[in-house]
Structure 1
Amino acid sequence: MELKMGYVILYVDDLVKTKHFYGDLLGLELRGEYGSYIEYNTGSTILSMNTRAGGREVTNLPIPDGLRKEQTFELGFVTKDVPGVVEKLRVAGVSILMEPMEKPWGQTVAYVEDPDGHYIEICTPMG
């Protein structure tokens, strides 16, 4: 049996803020919008969002309301210009969690958070 990552769904509070962050600021291409559910092309994996209420309705899972600061995952976006992306986000008022820095293995990495507090890594390609 072979598995591959098809999509990731983030549950969010405000689709307008979410679309501004991922579409306008990060420049991802909107793939589709279906009520409270949206999808972005990111290469081979689709990044999706749904409102918390919409997610509960579709899945019957106990998706909590409100911002959660105990994140246990991050989304990574690869670019050759980490400082440029971070500066664009800073100017737009996005919270910068870690300024761009070069890691011992040579990769430049920075962290920001999206409107719902999800950790977003902005990094250069590996190797």
Structure 2
Amino acid sequence: MENELLALKYHHITVSDWDASLAFYRDALGLEVQNDIGEGAARWVTLGGKDQNGLQFVLSLPHAGRTEADGDALQELLSKGVLPMIVLSTDDLDTAFERVRASGAEVLQEPIERPWGPRDSAFRDPSGNTVRIQQG
């Protein structure tokens, strides 16, 4: 295992509604649907970008593959908007920001310069997750 490099393959995003979230991540953020297979609790929805080296985002309902208690706990955290944020990068923050704003997403922060580095903005996805978009 000397010098073996591991790469992130999937990142799960907990959502309350597959279809609304799929529209947001596909249409507003411009990610490409890689898989949309099955239905009900057995639905597998993944999205990715052209330059993500195989990384896919998996849209996952709180109770999918979890116990009732764990799903309930995750649903509560989702409804409070306290799950970990998603941070995306773009070469053109202004264009990305306007496209996401035009989708009707809740704007948390318009593009601003940060003293520690990247210029960024923030939105909520349809489930309440915070999505930050940074330039660079």
Which TM-score applies when normalising by structure 1?
Answer: 0.83
- 2:10 — aligned with what? 7
**Deviation of 1:14 (Å):** 1.3
Contact 1:86 1:96 in 2 (8 A): no
Larger fraction in helix: 2
Percent identical residues: 26
Distance in 2 (alpha carbons) for counterparts of 1:15 and 1:70: 17
Tell me the distance in 2 between the aligned counterparts of 1:68 and 1:40: 23
The size of the alignment, in residue pairs, is: 122
Match of 1:101 in 2: 112
Displacement of 1:92: 1.7
Alignment partner of 1:63: what SS?
Answer: helix
Question: Which residue identity does 1:90 align to in structure 2?
Answer: R
Partner of 2:48: 41
1:49-101 CA-partner distances (Å, limit 9, x unpaired): 12234x1xx24361233642241411111112212211122222110101100
Aligned CA-pair RMSD: 2.0
1:1-127 to 2 correspondence within 5 Å? Answer: 3-35=6-38, 36-42=43-49, 43-44=52-53, 45-53=55-63, 55=64, 58-60=65-67, 62-64=70-72, 65=75, 67-125=78-136
Residue 40 of structure 1 aligns to which amino acid in structure 2? L
Quick one: distance in 1 between partners of 2:110 and 2:18?
27
> Is residue 13–residue 59 contact of structure 2 (8 Å, CA) maintained in 1?
yes
Contact 1:98–1:112 (CA<8 Å) still a contact in 2?
Answer: yes
Q: Find the residue that maps to 1:20 and give its secondary structure.
A: helix
Query: Which structure 2 segments of 5+ residues have no match?
Result: none
